[in-house]
């Protein structure tokens, strides 16, 4: 089955700096890569996603890049703010009989210091 | 996008008992997914629930321990049976939302004592 590795496990940055979180996946059939933000005691919230026919996607301060050949994808947050502090999870999903099933990375605790 | 109502939000249960968690979606969906999030950990898929057929379980999860019902296209239940302290986790349901992403219910925090 799919295996998703996420790094780093913790990330501490100063407000205004950029933050980068990286994930690798093992199953070449995976074609959907979402990123979730989870604040303490709350449900995971989808912040951005990318499909395998696209190399990069941006939404304001957030961007995701995908390298299918190397099987890795990254989340980039620019101009970080204290409210960006949360746990971030990457995930990988596939089609066919695995449609809709997401395999999650281990999570990254992001702390943005004012 | 789809809105999920999940309940209960939390419960404290005795060993050996069972807890049934409900998820109601505001639109019809083909598949509903159940995840477990152990304390301080990531999310792990338990099973996929399709209306009108048996749920499909992931490796390490069995129907006797996690029976699932899916009576219609907007509702599903997950039961966690014969509870032990190791079952203390957050359980979440998920469905495909508009635009192709997946949205989660608010979660059920289960504590087994």
| Sign of the torsion formed by the C-alpha atoms of B72, B81, B93 and A93 | negative
**Has residue A96 got a pLDDT over 80?**
no
Give me the residue from B45, B101, B104 closest to A43, CB to CB: B104
Alpha helices for A19-88 (secondary structure H): none
Interface test with A, best of B34, B43, B50, B59 (most A CBs within 10 A): B43
Residues of B with CB under 8 A from a CB of A: 31, 33, 41-45, 48, 58-59, 92, 94, 96-97, 100-107
Question: How confident is the prediction along chain B (113 residues), in pLDDT tens digits per residue?
Answer: 899 999 999 999 999 999 999 999 999 999 999 999 999 999 999 999 998 889 999 999 999 999 999 999 999 999 999 999 999 999 999 999 877 789 999 999 999 99
* A1 pLDDT tier (thresholds 50, 70, 90): confident
Give me the residue from B41, B58, B105 closest to A43, CB to CB: B105
DSSP line for B22-35? EEEESS--SEEEEE
pLDDT for the residue A94: 84
CA distance A84 to B60: 34
Q: Does A96 touch chain B (CB under 8 A)?
A: no
pLDDT for the residue B60: 96
Residues in chain A closer than 8 A to B94 (CB atoms): 102
Q: Does A46 touch chain B (CB under 8 A)?
A: yes
**What length does chain A have?**
114
B4-7: strand order across its sheet: B4-7, B19-25, B75-80, B68-72
| Pairing mode of beta strands A102-104, A108-113 | unpaired
The number of helices, as runs of H, and strands, as runs of E, in chain B is: 0, 11
Interface test with A, best of B42, B60, B95, B96 (most A CBs within 10 A): B42
B60: left (phi over 0), alpha (psi -120 to 50) or beta: left
* A28 pLDDT tier (thresholds 50, 70, 90): very high
pLDDT for the residue A67: 96
Q: Does A27 touch chain B (CB under 8 A)?
A: no
Binary contact (A102, B106; C-beta < 8 A) = no
Binary contact (A107, B105; C-beta < 8 A) = no
């Amino acid at each position: 089955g799919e295996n998703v590795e996420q790094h780093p496990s913790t990330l501490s940055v100063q407000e205004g700096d950029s933050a980068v979180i990286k994930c690798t996946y093992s199953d070449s059939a995976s074609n959907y890569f979402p990123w979730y933000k989870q604040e303490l005691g709350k449900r995971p919230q989808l912040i951005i996603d990318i499909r395998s026919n696209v190399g990069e996607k941006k939404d304001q301060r957030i961007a995701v890049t995908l390298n299918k050949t190397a099987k890795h994808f990254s989340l980039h947050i620019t101009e970080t703010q204290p409210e960006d502090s949360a746990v971030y999870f990457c995930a990988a999903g596939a089609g066919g009989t695995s449609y809709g099933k997401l395999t999650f990375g281990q999570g990254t605790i992001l702390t943005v210091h004012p | 996008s789809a809105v999920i109502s999940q309940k209960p939000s939390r419960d404290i249960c005795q060993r050996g008992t069972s807890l049934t968690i409900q998820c109601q979606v505001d639109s019809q969906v083909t598949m509903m997914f159940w995840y477990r999030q152990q304390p301080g950990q990531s999310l792990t898929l338990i099973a996929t629930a399709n209306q009108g057929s048996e749920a499909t379980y992931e490796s390490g999860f069995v129907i006797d321990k996690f029976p699932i019902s899916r009576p219609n296209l907007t509702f599903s239940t997950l039961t966690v049976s014969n509870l032990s302290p190791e079952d203390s986790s957050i359980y979440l349901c998920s469905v495909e939302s508009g635009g192709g992403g997946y949205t989660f219910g608010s979660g059920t925090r289960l504590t087994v004592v």
